[in-house]
Amino acid sequence: MNKEFFVGKTVLVMGLGRFGGGVDVVRFAHDTGAKVIVTDLASAEQLSDSINQLRSLDGIEFHLGSHDPTDFKQADVIVANPAVPGDNKFLQIARRANRFVTSQIGIFFELCPARTIGITGANGKSTTTALTAHLLKNMRSQTIWLSGNIGNQPLLTIIDQINPNDLVVLELSSFQLEQLAEIQKAPDIALLTNLTPNHLDRHGTFANYCAAKENIFRFQQLDEESPAVSIFNAEDEMGAEWYEKYHKDAGRTCVQFSADDVSAELRSVYSLPGRANLSNLAAAMTIAKYFGAEEDRIKYCLPEFKALPHRLEFVQEINGVRWYNDSIATTPQSAIAALEAFDEPVIIIAGGYDKKLPFDELGAKITKKAKAAVLIGQTAEKIAYAIKDTKIEHTESLAHAVQAANSLAESGDVALLSPACASYDMFDNFQQRGQEFVKLVRDISRLNSQ
């Protein structure tokens, strides 16, 4: 495939997304000279932010509020959003009509001239991806690109700027890895942070979720002269298992990492709390060292790296209480890692959309580590049932939860939003939930200062 493949064709972009996920694909297809049609189940009003980003492009057709089977029968190319399952009935219509079905990440891997570094996992993948890019940018003379599932970073629209000697660092979701499996592609350097149950509402079982993640290693190109690099977390059960499975492959170099790899010297200049963040650093260091990074250089640039928004992000200290926004924690294991990051008494705000995940381990950790739990959303009762002998408060909204946490907290405590659930029962996404939490905390600060 090359960009000329799209010239003159009708490209149907399935899933624009309310937060601009499909904007990059639309711009790319338009710039290649294709006729572009956007189809999305959401209305124009719901998609207004994304549509506004495309106002400058001529000739884009928007078919919104539903999907028309005719579009899928007649388009030459269908580019499916990662949120669309591969067995979607409209994609099946396209395939039966012998239309070409692809994805943003699939097109990128077909066209990218540079080496790719792919990072996936249940938890920590965004921080590890951003930290990897940060370390490499401070140590390599060539251009380092950061993209993939990490926010709304451009992907296809930067393809012409990427040179063969560059490095591209990508966060890859299980959905994207399923799409890459369709074309049997994977990154040159692949890393797994960890695996715990997630997205079971989409994948059905943990085994299916693991199978989607394993595609990052399964389809790497093995070459004894230029080996694929596969990196695993030695402290993770699936990571250790897959290391044993793959480390004897000819044409593949396998490496393990652990949080214990991070020296006391590096810990002293690393601001992100908790063992989970040490594991993220160890993972990023493994990639950086593969490309020749020295530890003293890592130590020099490490203090500049700060927590990403919504990932154990320190918000403010109010009357001796430190407030943290961990809205990215959409699984029980993520919230467990957040609780383990603190030695101080913790008031945790948890609950949200039900992804059909078990809360037994989280309940036990809250019982052991938390001073109190303030619960919201669809899963509040399930989480409460798993907690023993810890104060629980139920509230109807995040605003009430913040008020309750503020009433419970005393100087020296940590007030932590770490929901262990997705946000879709109350918010559009975890970013909106985190932004609302930060606003509510700052409102408390303003009231206290009056």
Q: What is the pLDDT of residues 140-159, one digit of tens each?
A: 888 999 999 987 789 999 99
The 10s digit of each residue's pLDDT in 168-215 is 999 999 999 999 999 999 999 999 999 998 888 889 999 999 999 999
* Closest to 40 measured CA to CA, from 21, 56, 59: 21
Percent of the chain whose predicted confidence (pLDDT) is above 90: 92
* Closest to 349 measured CA to CA, from 314, 320, 376: 376
Asked whether residue 20 carries a pLDDT value surpassing 80, the answer given is no
* Closest to 194 measured CA to CA, from 136, 254, 247, 257: 257
Distance CA 395, CA 372 (A): 13
Question: Phi/psi class of residue 310: alpha, beta or left (left: φ > 0; alpha: ψ in -120 to 50)?
Answer: left
Distance CA 433, CA 399 (A): 11
CATH of 8-98, one of 3.10.20.440, 3.40.50.720, 2.40.110.10, 3.40.50.12280: 3.40.50.720
pLDDT at 414: 98
Q: Among 13-27, 221-235, 310-324, whose mean pLDDT is lowest? A: 13-27
Residues 10, 34 contacting (CB under 8 angstroms) = yes
**To the nearest whole number, what is the mean pLDDT of the chain?**
95
Which pTM was predicted?
Answer: 0.89
Residues 171, 153 contacting (CB under 8 angstroms) = no
Distance CA 248, CA 192 (A): 18
Within 173-263, residue ranges assigned H as helices are 174-181, 200-203, 206-218, 237-246
Q: What is the DSSP string of 379-440?
A: THHHHHHH--SSEEEE-SSHHHHHHHHHHH--TT-EEEE--SSBSTTTSSSHHHHHHHHHHH
* Closest to 81 measured CA to CA, from 28, 173, 176, 14: 14
Asked whether residue 257 carries a pLDDT value surpassing 90, the answer given is yes
Asked whether residue 43 carries a pLDDT value surpassing 80, the answer given is yes
The 10s digit of each residue's pLDDT in 207-253 is 999 999 999 999 999 999 999 999 999 999 999 999 999 999 999 99
Record the tokens describing residue 292, joined without a space.
């020749």
CA atoms within 13 A on the CB side of 434: 21
Gyration radius of the chain over CA positions: 23
233 - beta bridge partners? Answer: 257
DSSP conformation class of 260:
G
| Rounded average pLDDT over 300-312 | 92
Q: Among 16-30, 232-246, 285-299, 361-375, whose mean pLDDT is lowest? A: 16-30
* Closest to 168 measured CA to CA, from 194, 149, 187, 141: 187
Residue type, 287: I
Within 97-186, residue ranges assigned H as helices are 104-111, 125-137, 174-181
Give the residue range(s) of CATH 3.90.190.20 domains in the chain.
Answer: 313-449
Q: 197 vs 322, which has greater pLDDT?
A: 322
324 - beta bridge partners? Answer: 314, 416
Record the tokens describing residue 78, joined without a space.
């269908």
CATH code of 313-449, in short, is 3.90.190.20
The 10s digit of each residue's pLDDT in 97-150 is 999 999 999 999 999 999 999 999 999 999 999 999 999 999 888 899 999 998
- Name the band, by pLDDT with cuts 50, 70 and 90, for residue 18: confident
Query: How many CB atoms sit inside 10 A of residue 6's CB?
Result: 23
Record the tokens describing residue 191, joined without a space.
């890393």
Residues 259, 275 contacting (CB under 8 angstroms) = yes
Helix %, strand %, coil % of the chain (to 5): 40, 20, 40
* Closest to 71 measured CA to CA, from 51, 46, 97: 97
The 10s digit of each residue's pLDDT in 402-424 is 999 999 999 999 999 999 999 99
Distance CA 193, CA 188 (A): 16
Q: Is 204 exposed, middle or buried (0-12, 13-18, 19+ CB in 10 A)?
A: exposed
Distance CA 409, CA 54 (A): 46
106-304 classified as CATH 3.40.50.960: no
Give the residue range(s) of CATH 3.40.1190.10 domains in the chain.
Answer: 106-304
Give the residue range(s) of CATH 3.40.50.720 domains in the chain.
Answer: 8-98
* Closest to 197 measured CA to CA, from 97, 123, 307, 115: 123
Residue type, 186: A
DSSP conformation class of 25:
H
pLDDT at 172: 97
